[in-house]
């Protein structure tokens, strides 16, 4: 399983943008980049995913480096409810040998200050 590296923690003020980095230098050509977040005492929640192009959805944006060795999750305006652990994960092909298994690291603990 390909590894990702994330900072242990980050802080932000409410209503400011947040850029959460992730390094994945050993990513393969078929690996998708997934982001999840986990609130205390809850299961992780899907945030966004991408392969090569930048992606936007109602929750966040995902910026992927041209060489795909790093990516950044962007929360455009942080709220107190965005305080969570954010996981950057690489997912192999669903129907390939990896069966789409996701391996979670320790993620980044995001603290949002009012």
Stretch that binds other proteins, among 8-16, 58-66, 70-78, 102-110 (CB under 8 A): 102-110
The smaller minimum CB distance to other proteins, of residues 13 and 30, is found at 30
Distance of closest approach, residue 13 Cβ to other proteins, in angstroms: 26
Q: Does 105 bind other proteins (CB under 8 A)?
A: yes
Q: In what order do the strands lie in the sheet with 61-64?
A: 18-23, 70-75, 61-64, 55-56
Q: Does 11 bind other proteins (CB under 8 A)?
A: no
Q: Does 29 bind other proteins (CB under 8 A)?
A: no
Stretch that binds other proteins, among 19-27, 58-66, 76-84, 92-100 (CB under 8 A): 92-100
Which of 7, 21, 49, 63 is close enough to bind other proteins by CB under 8 A?
49
- DSSP three-state, residue 85: strand
Which of 39, 65, 80, 94 is close enough to bind other proteins by CB under 8 A?
94
Which residues of the chain form beta strands (DSSP E)? 9-13, 18-23, 32-38, 45-50, 55-56, 61-64, 70-75, 84-91, 108-113
- DSSP three-state, residue 80: helix
Residue whose token pair is 């009012």: 114
- What are the residues binding other proteins (CB under 8 A)? 32, 34, 36, 41-46, 49, 87, 91, 94, 99-107
């Amino acid at each position: 399983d390909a590894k990702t590296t994330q900072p242990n923690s980050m802080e932000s003020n409410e209503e400011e943008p947040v850029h959460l980095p992730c390094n994945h230098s050993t990513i393969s050509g078929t690996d998708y980049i997934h982001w999840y977040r986990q609130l205390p005492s809850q299961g992780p929640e899907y945030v966004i995913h991408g392969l090569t192009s930048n992606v936007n959805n109602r929750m966040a944006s995902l910026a992927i480096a041209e060489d795909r060795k790093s990516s950044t999750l962007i929360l455009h305006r942080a709220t107190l409810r965005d305080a969570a652990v954010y996981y950057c994960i690489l997912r192999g092909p669903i129907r390939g040998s990896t069966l789409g298994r996701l391996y979670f690291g320790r993620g980044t603990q995001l603290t949002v200050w009012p």
